[in-house]
Amino acid sequence: MSMLNDPSMKEIIIDFCAEADMLFDELQDSLEILEESPSNTKELEKFGQVIDRIMGAAKSIGASEIATFCELGKVIGYKSSQIKDIPLIEVVVAILFDSLDLLRKMVTAIRLGTDSGMKNLNTKAFVTRLNWLSDKFKTIDRASVAIGDETLTQNSIDDLMKSLGL
C-alpha cells in the first residue's frame, strides 16, 4: 500500500494538499506578474523555487508523478529565467499556466483519493507545447538546475517527460 492510500497517513496527505494549494497561489501570482511584465525574469526564478518546494513535499509522500511534473516545471522556470526573448517568455508563461492547472488537478485527485496520474488528464496539446519549448531550451545550461552532482541536460528534460508518459 502506498502512502497516498494508507488511511493512517490521511492527515499528512491533507496537509500536503493544503500546502500545495497555498504554493499554487504563489505560482499563480508569479505568472500573473509575468503576464504584465514578461521581462521580470526574477519571477521565473521564484516560480522555480516555489515549485521545487512542492516537488520535495510530493516526493516525501510518494506522489512521484507530481514530483516529476514539478521537476519539469522547475527546469522550465530556471531555464527560461536565462532568456531575454520576450515573445518566448510570453509562451513560457502560458505553458506554465497550463502546468499549474494540471498540477492543481493532480492534487485535487489526491485529495479525493482518486488516481492522480497523468494518464487521466488530457495532455496532448500540452505535450506538443512542452516539446516545442524543450527544443528552444537546448542551448541553455544552468547550474542551479543541478540535482546532486548532475546538471540537467536536454536529455534529462526529455527523460523527465518520458517518465511522465509525455
Residue type present at position 124: K
pTM for this structure? 0.79
Q: Which pLDDT score is estimated for 72? A: 84
Q: Does residue 89 fall inside a structural domain?
A: yes
Q: Does residue 9 fall inside a structural domain?
A: yes
Residue keyed to cell 528534460: 157
Residue type present at position 138: K
Q: Does residue 30 fall inside a structural domain?
A: yes
Residues of the chain scoring pLDDT < 50: 1, 143-150, 152
For residue 118, give the CATH number of its domain.
Answer: 1.20.120.160
Q: Which pLDDT score is estimated for 143? A: 46
Q: Does residue 124 fall inside a structural domain?
A: yes
Q: Give the integer Cα–Cα distance in Å for 158 and 117.
A: 18
Q: Which pLDDT score is estimated for 109? A: 87
The greatest distance separating any two alpha carbons of the chain, rounded to the nearest whole angstrom, comes to 49
What is the domain extent for residue 154?
3-161
Q: Give the integer Cα–Cα distance in Å for 103 and 97.
A: 10
Q: Does residue 77 fall inside a structural domain?
A: yes
Q: Give the integer Cα–Cα distance in Å for 74 and 142.
A: 12
Q: Give the integer Cα–Cα distance in Å for 5 and 62.
A: 10
Q: Does residue 115 fall inside a structural domain?
A: yes
Q: Give the integer Cα–Cα distance in Å for 115 and 106.
A: 8
Q: Does residue 107 fall inside a structural domain?
A: yes
Q: Which pLDDT score is estimated for 159? A: 65
Contact 91, 71 (CB under 8 A): no
Beta strands in the chain (DSSP E): 146-147, 150-151
User: Number of folded domains in the chain?
Assistant: 1
Q: Does residue 166 fall inside a structural domain?
A: no
